[in-house]
Structure 1
Amino acid sequence: MSVRPWRDIARRKSRQIMVGKVPVGGDAAVTVQTMTNTPTEDAVATINQIRACEEVGADIIRVSCPTVEATQGFRLIAKAARVPLVADIHFHYKRALEAADAGAACLRINPGNIGSDERIREVVRAAKANGCSIRIGVNAGSLEKHLLEKYGEPCPEALVESALEHARLLEDNDFHEFKISVKASDVFLAVAAYSELAARTDYPLHLGITEAGGLIGGTVKSSIGLGMLLWSGVGDTIRVSLSADPVEEVKVGYHILKSLGIRARGVKVISCPSCARQGFDVVRTVETLETRLAHITTPLSLSVLGCVVNGPGEARETDIGLTGGGNGRHMVYLSGVTDHQISSEAMVDHIVALVEKKAAEIDAANAEAALQAAE
């Protein structure tokens, strides 16, 4: 039993599918996705963007394939990518067939939008033959006409009904390797739709607040919507949709998961907003440390507080802590215990060195544990 039951998240039980070599759903970790925004026909530009997203931890990356030229470029892109790729197919079923043959790990389609039953069967055959999973992607902005006529406007019931209609088309063709999303730009609509869908099916769910906005506004909307769902145990994979560099989407996704204690990657920085009591420039120090520590992927925590009001308390909860003091001397904490002082001039370099050393120690201990478990 957890000693902190108020932090426990009872995750919804879902079936598990594979997106390439990455498991989604079941007891697998919640994965972080993004989508390229380069022309897919420009394979070099798209590969470069994928590489940048891989470096910050993207587990799965979606690539749009609206044309023949795009699926031709996708073949080169899929060979170069280190993470599984989802081919985003709009309406033309042949693009799905081409993308499956070109190396897609997953196809993003709405089966009901690609035409006849025979076309759906062709897509399913191609997916099975190439080991592709499928994502059913329902969006409040593109609901089917008959559902808009039935409900009058996008609503949770309409999104869920659309998702289940598409799901039945795949199930009728004996295909079950799929996940579902019911995205909306309205946070309340998205949360209500996902909550209802989660109660009515055990397929894994891909979370997103679509068209969320720019870096700041979109981060806030996504954090509220995805945070509510994840805290309630709903969600197996996420994408933060921002009008920004896809790299930022991945970073925000990990920050959301870290904030909820669902998944950790890199340094979790706990810092104060600063005030007149600060013993050093907290804002600039944190900005510098976040940049200098971006290469650390090992999960660990660092507190940076400008004075002794909350500093010692926060430091007791983190791997490394820094609290501002007087006369340009600041206290450093290791594993929650007061350890030594450091000057303002040497402070940033010193903290970076301590974090790198701690990360190396954690990595070595994990490697040793894995080795012992394998013996």
Structure 2
Amino acid sequence: MSIRPFREIKRKNTKVINVGEVKVGGYNPISVQSMTNTLTSDSYSTIKQILEIQEAGADLVRVSCPDEESTKALKEIKKETQIPLVADIHFHYKRAIEAAENGANCLRINPGNIGDENKIKEVISAAENNNCSIRVGVNAGSLEKDILEKFKEPCPEALVESALRNIQILEDQNFENMKISVKSSDVFLSIAAYELLSEKTNYPLHLGITEAGGFVPGSIKSSIGIGKLLLNGIGDTIRVSLSDDPVEEVKVGNEILKSLNLRNRGVKIISCPSCARQAFKVIDTVKILEQKLSHIKEPVTLSVIGCVVNGPGEASMTDVGITGGGKGNNMLYLSGVQSEKILTDDIISKVVQEVEKKALEIKDRK
């Protein structure tokens, strides 16, 4: 069931680039990415984690390439995975060349940090020869010395000046296949930097609040910062940076997009916080349903409300709904219409069955 959103976001129409088979920019779907925390040289562990990240709903994945063993491992990793790979490179231009030649679809670098003009030309040549894009990644914690001296501290103007400088280095070599990020761990600094950068360039922007922290604080900071920018039409790809399992980053990223009606993937659950009126254990039920429905990729809406105060209204706007009733008789709604009474003990199995059926219908219509 499709409900017209109260507000539709008007996105900025940025330049479109390719990261592997994923189009980034323009009006293409906003992509979600995460980063592995395994040693990339340990190809077995890295492949395993990449597959988990992809299964969770990521569109892109970044891997760190600090040494030659890591860039060599990309060739094996690429054979065993389908998701586009972004190679994280710092300082050493040869690692960037090796990564491009061994299967990376994008290089995350700061051109100004990798050496003289000849080295930059070699990296650009490797990127062009291997259909590899570049992400210019500016971070408040690693700004150039002269920029820090000029602005005295990290500020929006400092991050944007660094970004524009690195963009110019690539443009001077006639390379424009790039996306840009200006990240900070400070929400306000990040928002202001991205807003300023969006005014000055039309390249696609990769959004994130870097080093956001653990699951709860990091998710909140990221939701506020990334969400504020997305609401204003800024951003083409996102990463939620958490001190947690990368799979959790993907889940939070997709939830941010779903909450803004920017991307529909998987089951969107509308549920109440529960109270003394609940006719079944809402919190426990939702936790179980989240786990049992995590495999579904089609956009299905599900409402789980513990009583009849708001339950019927929410159920009328979702594909599947369950509303608590008296004496263990709960009402199941399908496509907004009352269907049948369900005993409390049967809620999980019945809801899973109906959501899977609805997902199959949606898949067949594609």
Q: TM-score, normalised by structure 1?
A: 0.96
Identity of aligned residues (%): 61
* Alignment RMSD: 1.0
SS in 1 for 2:345: coil
Amino acid at match of 1:198: S
Partners in 1 of 2:91 and 2:164 — Cα distance?
A: 19
Amino acid at match of 2:74: F
Displacement, 1:55?
0.7
Displacement, 1:363?
1.1
Displacement, 1:4?
6.4
After the TM superposition, which of the residue ranges 339-348 and 274-283 deviates more from structure 2? 339-348
SS in 1 for 2:242: coil
Amino acid at match of 2:140: A
SS in 1 for 2:296: coil
Amino acid at match of 2:50: I
Amino acid at match of 2:66: P
Deviations 1:147-173 (A, max 9, x none): 110001000000000000000000000
How do residues 174-193 of structure 1 correspond to structure 2 at under 5 angstroms?
A: 174-193=174-193
Amino acid at match of 1:342: I
How do residues 165-314 of structure 1 correspond to structure 2 at under 5 angstroms?
A: 165-314=165-314
Amino acid at match of 2:154: P
Partners in 1 of 2:5 and 2:67 — Cα distance?
A: 51
The answer as to whether partners of 2:124 and 2:175 remain within 8 angstroms in 1 is yes
Partner of residue 372, structure 1: none
Deviations 1:28-60 (A, max 9, x none): 110000000000110000000001011111111
Displacement, 1:6?
4.9
Partners in 2 of 1:284 and 1:13 — Cα distance?
A: 42
Displacement, 1:5?
7.9
Partners in 2 of 1:76 and 1:110 — Cα distance?
A: 26
Tell whether 2:38 aligns with 1:76: no
Displacement, 1:267?
0.4
Partner of residue 34, structure 1: 34
The answer as to whether partners of 2:18 and 2:133 remain within 8 angstroms in 1 is yes
The answer as to whether partners of 2:5 and 2:261 remain within 8 angstroms in 1 is no
Q: TM-score, normalised by structure 2?
A: 0.98
Amino acid at match of 1:243: S
Partner of residue 335, structure 1: 335
Partner of residue 19, structure 2: 19
Partners in 1 of 2:123 and 2:330 — Cα distance?
A: 63
Deviations 1:294-330 (A, max 9, x none): 1111101000000011111111111111000110110
Partner of residue 134, structure 1: 134
Partners in 2 of 1:247 and 1:82 — Cα distance?
A: 17
Amino acid at match of 2:361: E
Partner of residue 115, structure 1: 115
SS in 2 for 1:362: helix
Partners in 1 of 2:272 and 2:325 — Cα distance?
A: 14
Partners in 2 of 1:168 and 1:192 — Cα distance?
A: 21
Partner of residue 322, structure 2: 322
Deviations 1:267-303 (A, max 9, x none): 0000000000000000000001111111111101000
Partners in 1 of 2:264 and 2:178 — Cα distance?
A: 26
Distance 1:8 1:49, change over 3 A: same
Amino acid at match of 1:173: Q
SS in 2 for 1:234: coil
Deviations 1:67-92 (A, max 9, x none): 01111112211222211100000110
Q: Could you list the structure 1 runs, at least 4 aligned residues long, displaced by more than 3 angstroms after superposition.
A: 3-6
Aligned positions, number: 364
Partners in 2 of 1:257 and 1:206 — Cα distance?
A: 14
Amino acid at match of 1:164: L
Partners in 2 of 1:250 and 1:82 — Cα distance?
A: 17
Displacement, 1:361?
1.1
